[in-house]
A and B are shown apart, each in its own frame.
Chain A
Amino acid sequence: MENTTIITLTIDGRAVSVPKGTSILDAAATIGIKIPALCHMDLKGTCVKNTPASCRICVVEVEGRRNLAPSCATQVMEGMVVRTNSARVVRARKTVAELILSDHPNDCLTCPKCSDCELQKLVTRFNIRRMTYKGEQSVRKKEETVAITRNMDKCILCRRCESVCNQVQTVGVLGAVRRGFETTIAPTFDRMFKDTDCTYCGQCVAVCPTGALTERDNTDRLLDDLCNPEKIVIAQPAPAVRVALGEEFGMKPGTIVTGKLATSLRYLGFDYVFDTDFAADLTIMEEGAEILHRLRAFLGGDKSVKLPIMTSCCPAWVNFYEHNYPDLLEYPSSAKSPAQMFGAIAKNYWAEKMGIPREKLVVVSIMPCLAKKYECEREEFSVNGNPDVDYSISTRELARLIKRSNIDFESLPDSDFDTPMGESSGAGAIFGATGGVMEAALRTVYEVFTGKTLPRLEFTAVRGLDGIKEATIDIDGFPLKVCVAHTLGNARYLMDKLRKGELNYHVVEVMACPGGCIGGAGQPYHHGNIEVLKARAAAIYREDEGKPIRKSHENPDIKQLYEVYLGEPLGELSEKLLHTRYFDKSIK
């Protein structure tokens, strides 16, 4: 959007010039005036935006205006005179915050969001030291699903979750129900999440300013297992965890803490510390083979072949198409997600090799994701009720566990992952960012398809935060058309086109969260700061560059796994262990 008109206004006596269309809030920020805001969230560069102007915390005085203006949603005007700190504003702002507190449980000490709560920060900032208003408090629904915990008593009705669920993800589960003081954010008819189309993407959790929406906490369960001498507990952290975990310990966003991560997991008492990145390479082998298989069939004139093939690593995306596009279930790759491939190999190949009975082995995934918690519970990923991945904890839960276990994370020495499921290529590492799976697949597909070495490994066209990215890759004269989408709203756009027969790509990657897994709902909270996501993505690509091996099919441990155990991609054993099928889960 080109906007050249510059508006000059005065904020707190200082002149500021900004492009037309800028909000007072953003204009003030350019001259170092941080107007407090609560409901507002704008993850600039993505479609995550919530500006209902409903909390009224960010109100400011605008000369000539009868009432106070919400600075988040009021655009600057030429000659505007704004005061962000007049007595009138300060009193109103504080009163509004006090009103919010008067309908809040205020059980901060035991709240999962304690010290990371935006309301709590405001209360500190406004120097509120007593409860001015007392009265009836809302009693709203509570629910604990396998992935998301709802405690809506803590909800301040900022509507961020509603915005992401509806506008960004187009899942449409959360919305305001009832009115006035009885208003609550809930699924239609106050249904439980499990009875809705909820994909457990958890983006509602990722944006919730308070403790109303949080992850299902598995840390106590994990501690029990770690302390249980009967159990062999093994860890597999996802690619995006290592570029974000440091934030929980005060490190700069984008700090790579792979080595400390491995050490901390050992210190926590994991018996073996492996890596989901390894399984990401395995995913590329299988999915790459599937891509090649379908492409060759297509090029051979087979009209029945389903194209585009779509990635299937993201569990929220899987839920999304199972719920919304049951007629298109043959398009996504049948490859399991890396985490589930890891579980299958660990509980079959590795357990057999080590002589560990399946029941004794506990596979724990450490994920940037909440939908992974749901994925672990899928029946098809278990054998006689014993899941391949026992359960999943999020990046945030791991950080809490590390703190709780007296580990000084920052001073930890680096260490490597254990073998044989710890070695990974740079291709596996980039799974954590949108476009990463596509790029990793292209590196392998190109070389296997052409038999040639890639002249340049980086496919920059599929990188970055654009909602939908497309590229045409020349594979030895064959123009391979690919598309990468993140957020489910963009996925819906593609799927609707596919349903109409208008989606002309060969390969499509979809990740449910903005930015891909780095923006996952299990990650440290970004609090609306896009720079955090950008720094994480940059770190992902640095991790890739630093790897001696950067193509999945060149990972020696992967090669060995096929040699000694699996045979070949899409072979009989691979199909059995590493592939899955999808179900019609549409709500009838």
Chain B
Amino acid sequence: MTINSPDVLEGIRQEALKALSQREESNKATSAQAAGLEKGTPHMQILCCGGTGCKASESAKIAQNFQESLKAHSIEDKVDVVVPGCFGFCEKGPIVKIVPDNTFYTSVRPEDVEEIVTSHILAGNRVERLLYVDPSTGQHISDSKHMNFYRKQMRIALRNCGFINPEDIREYIARDGYKALAQSLQRPSEDVLADIKASGLRGRGGAGFPTGVKWEIARKFDAPDKYVVCNADEGDPGAFMDRSIMEGDPNSVIEAMMICGYCINAHHGLIYIRAEYPLAVHRLKVAIGQAREYGLLGKNILGTGFDFDIEIRYGAGAFVCGEETALIHSMEGKRGEPTLKPPFPAEAGYFGNPTNVNNVETLANVPVILTKGPQWFASIGTEKSKGTKVFALAGKINNVGLIEVPMGTTLREIIYDIGGGVKGGKKFKAVQTGGPSGGCLTEKHLDIPIDYESLAAAGSMMGSGGMIVMDEDDCMVSVAKFFLEFTVDESCGKCTPCRIGNRRMLEILTRITDGRGTEEDIETLENLAKVIKDTALCGLGQTSPNPVLSTLANFREEYEEHVRDHKCRAHKCKSLLTYSIDPALCKGCSACARGCPAEAIAGEVRKPFVINPEKCIRCGMCLSRCKFGAIKVI
């Protein structure tokens, strides 16, 4: 069927809404009584997370088991199994949600399915043991609305993730999908563009360039072939918001690209996605296929004469290809390395044609900005950073997952309220924001309202929204080294500072963590970091020293301890550890000596044993074997 007018689109929306209304209603439900077929509930739905994270924990098997169990109980026509995109609470995956009572099951395993069906779906009794337990109160919470993880969130970009079936375009349409496009195509394109500008939306890929301004520039360059490119080359370690959006709501990206195409007068769309995202690729392909089938992609869209189509291009997983010029070169079949701007892609991009590149999350905001109005969007966030931002919470934090909060939320709210605080009750030390290009922020930064400017001022950056929490057990020199290892691996090798400079910095950091560093090394490191930041060609190189500079700024004493005292306070740098046996505690059982792979421990039975530091390889085997706590590590 072809949607050739806004009226037909509205018709489909009304139709599709019927199937979705139960889910909409369920979302509003609180922890009232559980529903059940035997209690008289006529129809139920089981939402079984289909994000990559949950899939890795067998959620596909869970969905399959549900189907089979429903069949076995002959209730398959009364209960639907829906596979939506990511719910975000990946720490507790796989997630299964029951409609209409809004029950949120966590850490579900395939063997739990039968119990859920018999006791909940049929009898209407929740399976308590699969409910989320609030770590602070110890109480079971049955719905996501009452979980701290979700309470402070505001889901705009992720609005459909974990809700609709991403492989059914009608469910997207039911949620006002393609409405923004239909409305836009009725308006002069400059008005639509003005709305995007007025909304204050800025690029979510990291740099935060105003999206409307970017479109406006691209619009100015006239050419027969212009391109809208979606940058889906998400590469920050730990960041997966773009993947989640593409897996959970691919049509929002497609719709936004079309709106962009309309605004800048482009008719070709390209999605550059890394090939390591097979599920996202699949969902995009399905969505593009369905959009074409419905006539939403192709010629004469919605009968307005506007033509637009989208192709997918695959990246081979090079971090630098997230940089737009490198991305374009990669799409052209060339080596994925950045070139100097200007010329900007808006002037000369894909094969020399005017090209507008936007990140996935940026695009996902566009349709809803237009349906709800730019003022609504601009009312959210801080003065210069509007709307929300998705963050990938990871590291030493209780609630690992994907969250979306209004700009201006503080790090404290994110880490302690949403994230549930530091794991194991340990002391918070730092949070790395902005991925390998960002910096480490500390206790003193926790109350800064997060936006592009405040993070930059604090010595870090928004980046794509990675957020890695570190505790007292993390060595900040090692952390800097970890991130630098990443950028060294991912450097394209084009410019000297990044190619050689980062390598030299990594070598210095390795010396320091190996206990071979000198005070001069710290100075050299600092000089190198500053010069690289000042001279590297692209964003990757210019920001790669950030982890070093920010840890030097905030944790310089740790560097000094490493080189001066040969000490790593976090006990992370093996070479700096000394293992010894406390003679007062040692019973002379010889367990340590028998377990030592380096034969570094000797002694007489029933007398205290001794570790030979020359031979000791600091593997920690003795520590794990000693039953008397006699092994000391300093």
Instruction: Give A residues with C-beta under 8 Å from B.
Output: 52-57, 59, 67-68, 70, 73-75, 88, 91-92, 95-96, 99-100, 102-103, 132-133, 135-136, 156-157, 159, 175-176, 178-183
Contacts and interface: CB of A to CB of B under 8 A. Distances in A.
B499 A96 contact: no
B318 interface: yes
B504 A133 contact: yes
Given A180-B488, A180-B499, A181-B503, A73 B340 contact: yes
B496 A56 contact: yes
Interface in B305-356: 318, 335, 337, 339-340, 342
B504 A56 contact: no
Contacts of A92: 531, 534-535
B20 interface: no
Given A54-B496, A103-B500, A181 B531 contact: no
B494 A157 contact: yes
B261 interface: no
A163 B230 CA distance: 30
A363 to B, nearest CB: 44
A248 B337 CA distance: 38
Contacts of B533: 67
Contacts of A136: 503, 507
B536 interface: yes
Contacts of B534: 59, 67-68, 88, 92
Main SS of chain B's interface residues? helix
B141 interface: no
Interface in B522-554: 524, 527-528, 531, 533-537, 542
A132 B525 CA distance: 12
Contact of A181 (B340, B491, B527): B491
A73 B342 CA distance: 9
A181 B499 CA distance: 5
Contact of A99 (B488, B489, B491, B500): B500
Contacts of A102: 500, 504
Contact size range, B: 20 to 34
20 contacts: A56-B495, A59-B534, A59-B535, A67-B535, A67-B542, A74-B340, A88-B534, A92-B531, A99-B501, A100-B496, A103-B500, A133-B500, A133-B504, A133-B524, A135-B504, A176-B493, A178-B493, A180-B492, A182-B493, A183-B494
A74 B495 CA distance: 16
A498 B6 CA distance: 54
A70 B496 CA distance: 12
Nearest to A93: B535
B500 A176 contact: no
A67 B495 CA distance: 15
Main SS of chain A's interface residues? loop
Q: Which of A53, A99, A156 has the most CB of B within 10 A?
A: A99
Contacts of B531: 91-92, 95-96
A172 to B, nearest CB: 12
B495 A54 contact: yes
Given A54-B537, A96-B497, 9 more contacts: A52-B494, A56-B536, A57-B496, A59-B534, A91-B527, A95-B535, A135-B504, A176-B337, A181-B493
A99 B339 contact: no
A103 B501 CA distance: 10
Contact of B499 (A57, A59, A157): A157
A179 B329 CA distance: 15
List the 5 closest pairs (A to B, CB-CB), nearest first: A183-B493, A180-B491, A99-B500, A95-B531, A135-B507
Contact of A157 (B490, B493, B524, B527): B493
Contacts of B340: 52-53, 70, 73-74
Q: Which of B490, B493, B536 has the most CB of A within 10 A?
A: B493
B537 A179 contact: no
Contacts of A75: 342
B500 A55 contact: no
A53 B504 contact: no
Contact of B528 (A67, A95, A176): A95
Given A52-B494, A96-B531, A99-B504, A181 B335 contact: no
Nearest to B335: A176
A419 to B, nearest CB: 56
Nearest to A96: B496
A96 B492 contact: no
Contacts of B342: 75
B535 A179 contact: no
Interface in B479-494: 488-494
Interface string B31-71: 00000000000000000000000000000000000000000
Contacts of B537: 53-54, 56, 70
Contacts of A88: 534
A139 B6 CA distance: 63
B264 to A, nearest CB: 25
